[in-house]
């Protein structure tokens, strides 16, 4: 089990759909989050992409020296960058960070936004471009380890004698991740990517997706890894967690919801359509599966669901997804700095043993917590004893 967090380069707040409680997301704040999750033991961070976000590559590169072990999941954008340039960028980042880049293939789902970036392709054409793009990208990186060049002439993309002089640290190339729900997307995933990502749909829907991808990949002689993207609202009791969920959308009015849903409906992303269908734009039908809450998707595009509950409940729901074959969980919460710490403190001790040991911090000497009455030291409990108490 791999646990990732999220760098909110599109903004952060205590509440959704309002400027109340909002905070500026500058480099200092992004660095705070990155350093916190690195020290807490998270495996990596997802950095979003799109017109509403800071550039993910520059953001990630600016955080290399601030972190030690943290991996960065950064977007590849077919049609917006060339595959040869993207291969060189990936190899350089991989070398400078000593193997800490992961690539997230993003084809886009908003034609209006894509036209603003100079990409004039419909849904089917974008996937045709993406397929050729990934083939070129992978081959350039793979052949860089032996010094070979690569020539390819496809229907949409071509390269002649493409060569990379400085190979990546990770072999044969930094792992490639991808999420998509359309038929074109699942075909691309089965044929070319390493990890398939899904947004947080109910377990039965996620199982259906994974089973479908496993069969398609097996037919091509391939085996994929699987990940899921979720928000999380965890508190010490279930009542506190559900109250926090209500507070998150307490300033959200019907007009804001309607405007957001209208925009989402204009997109050609099947995944976004599936997210919107979970709640139908209604605030009275948000728990779509036990402890799976769709309130975030009322106004936020992309991942729109959250696990809500006390630590034991959230850990149990995580395990339900893990039992389906999910091995990577990408979480986030509002606001992202505080929630990354809260989630680690409350849930990490309850995760499966191997993950718990991996995430455990080094043993330090000295008192922990505030000294009581200037003399007494609070009792120290490690993650194993805490997990035993809560089991």
pLDDT, tens digit (0-9, with 9 covering 90-100), for 138-186: 999 999 999 999 999 999 999 999 999 999 999 999 999 998 888 888 9
Q: Which residue in the block uniquely carries the two structure tokens 């030291």?
A: 377
Alpha helices in 220-370 (DSSP H): 238-248, 254-266, 270-277, 311-323, 336-347, 353-359
Does residue 259 register a pLDDT over 90? no
Identify the pLDDT of residue 284: 79
Identify the pLDDT of residue 123: 78
Supply 108's token pair: 């886009």
Supply 285's token pair: 């039908």
Q: Which residue in the block uniquely carries the two structure tokens 């997307």?
A: 185
Could you tell me which residues come within 8 angstroms of residue 317 by beta carbon, excluding any fewer than 6 positions away?
290, 291, 292, 307, 309
Identify the pLDDT of residue 386: 55
- Supply the mean pLDDT for the chain: 89
**Band of pLDDT at residue 317, cut at 50, 70 and 90:** very high
Average pLDDT over residues 279-289: 80
How are beta strands 328-332 and 306-309 bridged, if at all? unpaired
Percentage of the chain beyond pLDDT 90 is: 65
Identify the pLDDT of residue 364: 60
Percentage of the chain beyond pLDDT 70 is: 89
Please return the burial class of 33, using the count of CB atoms within 10 Å of its CB with bins 0-12, 13-18 and 19+. Answer: buried
Could you tell me which residues come within 8 angstroms of residue 162 by beta carbon, excluding any fewer than 6 positions away?
84, 87, 136, 140, 149, 150, 151, 152
pLDDT, tens digit (0-9, with 9 covering 90-100), for 109-139: 777 787 887 878 887 888 899 999 999 999 9
User: What does the H/E/C string look like for 197-223?
Assistant: EEECCCHHHHHHHHHHHHHHHHHCCCC
Average pLDDT over residues 51-57: 91
Average pLDDT over residues 360-385: 63
Q: What's the pTM value of the predicted model, to 2 decimals?
A: 0.89
Phi, then psi, of 125 in degrees rounded to 5: -65, -35
Instruction: Confirm if 301 and 328 have CB atoms less than 8 A apart.
Output: no
Helix (H) or strand (E) holding 31: helix 27-40
Q: Which of 15-19, 24-28, 71-75 is predicted with the least confidence, judged by mean pLDDT?
A: 15-19
**Band of pLDDT at residue 257, cut at 50, 70 and 90:** confident
Instruction: Confirm if 71 and 328 have CB atoms less than 8 A apart.
Output: no
Please return the burial class of 327, using the count of CB atoms within 10 Å of its CB with bins 0-12, 13-18 and 19+. Answer: middle
Does residue 385 register a pLDDT over 90? no
Identify the pLDDT of residue 285: 85
Q: Which residue in the block uniquely carries the two structure tokens 């979003």?
A: 48
Identify the pLDDT of residue 376: 67
Instruction: Confirm if 2 and 329 have CB atoms less than 8 A apart.
Output: yes
Supply 63's token pair: 């955080």
Does residue 359 register a pLDDT over 80? no
Average pLDDT over residues 255-272: 76
Average pLDDT over residues 39-52: 92
How are beta strands 195-199 and 176-179 bridged, if at all? parallel
Instruction: Confirm if 41 and 360 have CB atoms less than 8 A apart.
Output: yes
Identify the pLDDT of residue 249: 92
Does residue 245 register a pLDDT over 60? yes
Phi, then psi, of 130 in degrees rounded to 5: -60, -40
Residues in the chain: 391
Supply 351's token pair: 């995760």
Identify the pLDDT of residue 72: 98
First to last CA, the chain: 19
Identify the pLDDT of residue 117: 75
How are beta strands 292-293 and 287-289 bridged, if at all? antiparallel
Q: Which of 49-58, 145-154, 201-210, 350-359 is predicted with the least confidence, judged by mean pLDDT?
A: 350-359
**Per-residue b or e along 285-316, where b marks 16 or more CB atoms closer than 10 Å to that residue's CB:** ebebbebbbbbbbbbbbbbbbbbbbbbebbbe
Could you tell me which residues come within 8 angstroms of residue 340 by beta carbon, excluding any fewer than 6 positions away?
5, 33, 36, 37, 40, 42, 333
Does residue 8 register a pLDDT over 70? yes
Q: Which of 130-134, 164-168, 290-294, 386-390 is predicted with the least confidence, judged by mean pLDDT?
A: 386-390
Q: Which residue in the block uniquely carries the two structure tokens 């039908």?
A: 285
pLDDT, tens digit (0-9, with 9 covering 90-100), for 78-112: 888 999 999 999 999 999 999 999 999 988 777 77
Identify the pLDDT of residue 268: 66
Could you tell me which residues come within 8 angstroms of residue 61 by beta carbon, excluding any fewer than 6 positions away?
93, 96
Identify the pLDDT of residue 96: 98
Does residue 22 register a pLDDT over 70? yes
Average pLDDT over residues 319-324: 97
């Amino acid at each position: 089990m791999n646990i990732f967090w999220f760098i909110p380069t599109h903004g952060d707040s205590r509440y959704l759909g309002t400027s109340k409680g909002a905070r500026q997301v500058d480099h200092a704040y992004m660095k705070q989050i990155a350093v916190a999750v690195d020290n807490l033991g998270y495996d990596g961070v997802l950095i979003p992409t799109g017109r509403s976000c800071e550039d993910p590559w520059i953001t990630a590169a600016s955080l290399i020296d601030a972190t030690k072990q943290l991996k960065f999941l950064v977007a590849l954008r077919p049609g917006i960058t060339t595959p040869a340039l993207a291969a060189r960028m990936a190899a350089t980042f991989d070398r400078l960070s000593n193997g800490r880049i992961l690539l997230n293939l993003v084809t886009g789902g908003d034609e209006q936004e894509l036209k603003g970036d100079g990409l004039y392709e419909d849904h089917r054409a974008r996937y045709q471009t993406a397929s050729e793009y990934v083939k070129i990208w992978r081959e350039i990186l793979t052949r860089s380890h032996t010094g070979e060049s690569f020539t390819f002439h496809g229907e949409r993309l071509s390269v002649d004698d493409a060569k990379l002089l400085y190979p990546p640290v990770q072999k044969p190339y930094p792992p490639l991740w991808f999420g998509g729900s359309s038929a074109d997307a699942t075909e691309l995933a089965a044929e070319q990517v390493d990890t398939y990502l899904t947004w947080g749909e109910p377990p039965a829907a996620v199982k259906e997706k994974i089973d479908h991808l496993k069969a398609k990949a097996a037919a091509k002689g391939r085996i994929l890894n699987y990940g899921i993207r979720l928000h999380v609202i965890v508190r010490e009791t279930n009542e506190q967690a559900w109250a926090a969920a209500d507070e998150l959308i307490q300033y959200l009015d019907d007009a804001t919801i309607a405007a957001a849903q209208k925009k989402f409906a204009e997109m050609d992303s099947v995944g976004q359509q599936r997210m919107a269908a979970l709640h139908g734009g209604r605030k009275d039908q948000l728990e779509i599966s036990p402890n799976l809450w769709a309130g975030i998707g009322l106004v936020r595009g992309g991942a729109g669901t959250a696990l809500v509950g006390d630590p034991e409940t959230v850990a149990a729901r995580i395990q339900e997804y893990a039992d389906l074959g999910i091995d990577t969980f990408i979480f986030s919460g509002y606001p992202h700095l505080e929630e990354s710490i809260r989630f680690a403190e409350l849930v990490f001790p309850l995760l499966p043993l191997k993950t718990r040991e991996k995430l455990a911090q080094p043993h330090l000497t000295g008192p922990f917590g505030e000294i009581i009455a200037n003399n007494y030291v609070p009792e120290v409990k490690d993650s194993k004893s805490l997990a035993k108490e809560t089991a």
